[in-house]
Amino acid sequence: MKKILLVGNPNVGKSALFSRLTGVRTTVSNYTGTTISYTKGFMKVGGEKAEIIDVPGTYTLEPTSEAERIALKMLDEGDIVINVVNATNLERSLYLTLQLLEKNIPVVIALNIWDDTKHRGIHIDLKKLRDLLGVPAIPTVALTGEGIKDLVESIPDALPKKNPQITRDERWAEIGSIIEQVQHIDRRHHRLSEKLQDASVKPFSGAIIAAIVLVSSFFVIRFIGEGLINYVLDPLFNRLWAPVMIKLSDILGGGGVLHDILVGKIYGDEINFVESFGILSSGLYVPLVMVLPYIISFYFVLGILEDIGYLPRLAVLMDTIMHWLGLHGYAIIPTLLGLGCNVPAILATRILESNRERFIASTLVSIAVPCAALQAMVFGLVGKHGGQYVAMVYGTLFIVWVLMGIILNRFLKGFSPELLIEIPPYRLPLLRTVLQKMWMRIRGFLAEAIPIILGAIFVINVLYSLDAFNGIANLTAPIVTGVLGLPKEAVTSLILGFLRKDVALGMLAPLALAPKQLVIASVVLAMSFPCIATFVVLLKELGFSGLLKATGIMIFSALLVGGILNLIL
């Protein structure tokens, strides 16, 4: 089976082109011995099945980062290279193209974002470009699929072409000569989108735009999430699933260990899916009704921001602030992902250059970035007492995020490299592509979350039957009641936060806590042990010693901040 490598600079539409070529059935793997990931799938070329690999983005084959070193290694493993080039920034992209042509490997060039060349007044002589480079060069628009058929049909015709090795200066001189011969740009006025692009990265206007985008995203996520809960999923569960649970309860005799594990607590003909705590009641209701709607809405909004091209601009805008935390601007991407789920956020820290940066980013995400599942419970449980209490939770976590980042940056050795990133033009996203990415992410969440929640509820019921929580509550009472100001019964929720934080917060509902106690409990749960899925990923990404350090920081800071909140409130 032939291996086709998709190679290009970051943010030239490689991932969109990859989705067009392979569909949604893809897998993500780590390159052997590293934390650098790549995506692979399959496509038909000349009637035969071929493996296609989306190689980590690189600007050069003279590697300056771990991702670029892996990209160079992967070239030795491929049969054909599709070099994805930004047609609107041909001069910048051709440096990597010329380096690829110096390798003895067949190359096909995909001139992506071709539709935007017309809007920008850029004219490229395709015949001349093909003659000068000696390889197929196909105009493509990955978002719409334009040119994809021609690109695939040109792959079998690609032949090895080995240009002589030249120096860096000679390469740039050749690029200048090629551009002069093949590209012509008409003078024209800036479009509104281009003015908006410029404004997005300037400090004052960029901060205003960022605030508008992030606040709007927040309200859209909440609007879609609450709409799905109130008008679709909750009515479905109450009308269709509740009668099934009540019937099953009757069959099981209305009580007993098996009844409590499967159905949970039922009062008469009524079932409270949050408080019943059975595997088939709360175990399904929490992930599918309370959490999934916010996951759907978050990944939908994130996909739109990705495909519009706003996130790289946000990274540039945030670069100075993120340096205070020992990171560069692109660390804002894992932070935003963490608002959906901490697991992909920790995995996304692989885009950062150093182990130091990955440790800081992973720790900050685990401590101060609540996932969508936990946020859903904060809105539902804390929000019913008033928006000011929700603001206290988010405000506290934001302050912790800033202060903890500054402290880690001060005491951890190392440096934060500068931000080198290609900024794509603003483009209208294609709904099909956004929904495709959203489904891939949601599928991963469902596969991970539901088994963990069902297992957590089973363990909780077993521990309850053994009366284990009373002993733990009595042992930890001085901390839980004295430092945090919570009833000793709350220790059960705090412990179960290790299994699933949203479930743990939901367990506080029967305790009738005061608003200030709910604020403290929410903050402590968010900052302490990550959920078990995040814990496993942290172990994988940071190693055992890194995990121990991060966990120690989490527990200490959670108790410290919880105690301070108790004193203040």
**Which of 297, 364, 418 minimizes the C-alpha distance to 534?**
364
* pLDDT tens readout for residues 399-409: 999 999 999 98
**CA gap 557, 404 in Å, rounded:** 9
* pLDDT tens readout for residues 156-203: 888 887 778 888 889 999 999 999 999 988 766 667 777 787 788 778
* 386 exposure class (CB count in 10 Å sphere: 0-12, 13-18, 19+): exposed
- Could you give the 3-state DSSP secondary structure of residue 280? coil
Q: Is residue 502 over pLDDT 80?
A: no
Q: How many residues does this entry show for the chain?
A: 569
* 539 exposure class (CB count in 10 Å sphere: 0-12, 13-18, 19+): middle
Long-range Cβ pairs for the range 234-243 (8 Å, 24+): 234/289, 237/273, 237/285, 237/288, 237/289, 241/284, 241/285, 242/271, 242/273
Q: Is residue 533 over pLDDT 80?
A: no
Is residue 385 within 8 A of residue 510, CB to CB? The reply is no
Beta carbons within 10 angstroms of residue 247's beta carbon:
11
Is residue 443 within 8 A of residue 394, CB to CB? The reply is no
Residue 269, phi then psi, degrees to nearest 5: -100, 15
Evaluate if pTM is beyond 0.85. Answer: no
What mean pLDDT value characterizes the chain? 82
**CA gap 172, 512 in Å, rounded:** 69
The partner residues of 7 in beta bridges, in order of sequence, read 83
Amino acid at 412: L
* pLDDT tens readout for residues 193-236: 777 877 887 788 888 998 898 888 878 887 888 899 889 999 99
User: 2-185 belongs to which homologous superfamily?
Assistant: P-loop containing nucleotide triphosphate hydrolases (3.40.50.300)
What is the model's pLDDT at position 469? 67
Beta carbons within 10 angstroms of residue 479's beta carbon:
16
Is residue 1 within 8 A of residue 13, CB to CB? The reply is no
**CA gap 528, 264 in Å, rounded:** 28
What is the model's pLDDT at position 449? 66
Domain boundaries, the chain: 2-185, 203-568
Residue 155, phi then psi, degrees to nearest 5: -60, -45
Beta carbons within 10 angstroms of residue 482's beta carbon:
11
